[in-house]
Amino acid sequence: MIELQGLHYRYAQGPNLHFPDFQLGPAPGVLLRGASGSGKSTLLALMAGLLSATGGVLRMAGSDLSAMNPRQRDAWRGANLGFVPQRLHLSAALSVRDNLCLPYLAAGLAVDGARVEELLSTLGLQSLAARRPHQLSQGQAQRVALARALLRRPRLLLADEPTASLDDDHAAATLDLLQQAAAQHGAVLVLATHDSRVMQRLGAVLPSLSLAKLEYAP
C-alpha cells in the first residue's frame, strides 16, 4: 500500500531529508513518528503529491508518485487522497454544507449532493449543516474537515498532528473518530504525530514509521 525506497527531499534553503526505507502491507494505517523537525510534515506532503521527491521511490496505493509530473500528481491526489490539515482551513463565509460542496467546485466537478448528505449524516453533522465555522466547537469543526477529506472516497486519509492542540478528552475522541471514519470509508490512515497520547491509544493497533533517526546531509 505504501513503499519508500531511498526517498529523499532537499529544501532549497534547508536540510536534505533522507527517509528510511519502509513497506506497509495490508494494514488499517500507519503512524509517522518523530520529534519536531524530523520531517513528518515533509513526508506527508510528499505522500500527498504536494512536493516532488529529490530522489528515490515513493509508491502509494500502487502508484509511483516519484515518477509523476505535477499535473499527474494533482489528478492522483484528487482521486486517491483525503487530507486533514492541522489548521482546518474551513471557509468562514460558508455554511458547513457549503464547505463540503466547495471541493467539488474547486475541482471543476458537479457537486455530489447525495455524498455531501451522507457524510453530514455519518459524522453527525446534519443538525449543524447550516451553521458557519465560527458557530462550531473545535471538535465539530474537526468533524467537518474530516467529512471534507472523505468526500471523494479516498483510499488514503492523511492527518498531520491532529491532536496537537487538543486536551486529553478531545484528543482521544479525535483519534477514535479518525480511526473509525477511515475504517468505515475503507481508507488507509496515515497519521503524523509526536504526541505520546497517540502512541498510547493507537500504538498497538497501527504500525509505526519512525523518523527519529533522520540523517541530515549537507
**Residue 208 touches Mg ion, criterion: CB under 5 A:** no
Within residues 21-60, the interface with ligand ADP by CB under 6 A covers: 34, 36-42
Complete DSSP assignment for 98-165: HHHHHHHHHTT----HHHHHHHHHHTT-GGGTTS-GGGS-HHHHHHHHHHHHHTT--SEEEEESTTTT
Question: Does the protein bind ligand ADP through residue 179 (CB under 6 A)?
Answer: no
Of the two residues 34 and 82, which places its CB atom closer to ligand ADP in the complex? 34
CB atoms within 10 A of CB 139: 13
CB count within 10 Å of CB 48 equals 22
Least Å distance between CB 214 and ligand ADP? 8
* 86 touches, from ligand ADP, Mg ion, none (C-beta below 5 to 8 Å by class): none
| Residue 41 binds Mg ion, judged by CB under 5 A | yes
Q: Which stretch binds ligand ADP (CB under 6 A): 9-17, 63-71, 98-106, 195-203?
A: 9-17
The item of Mg ion, ligand ADP, none sharing an interface with residue 186, based on CB under 5 to 8 Å by kind, is: none
Residues 130/161, Cβ–Cβ less than 8 Å: no
* β-pairing verdict for 188-193 and 156-160: parallel
Residue 58, C-alpha cell as written in the block: 515513493
Residue 39 binds which of ligand ADP, Mg ion, none (CB < 5-8 A, kind-dependent):
ligand ADP
Residues that bind Mg ion (CB under 5 A): 40-41
Residues that bind ligand ADP (CB under 6 A): 11, 13-15, 17, 34, 36-42
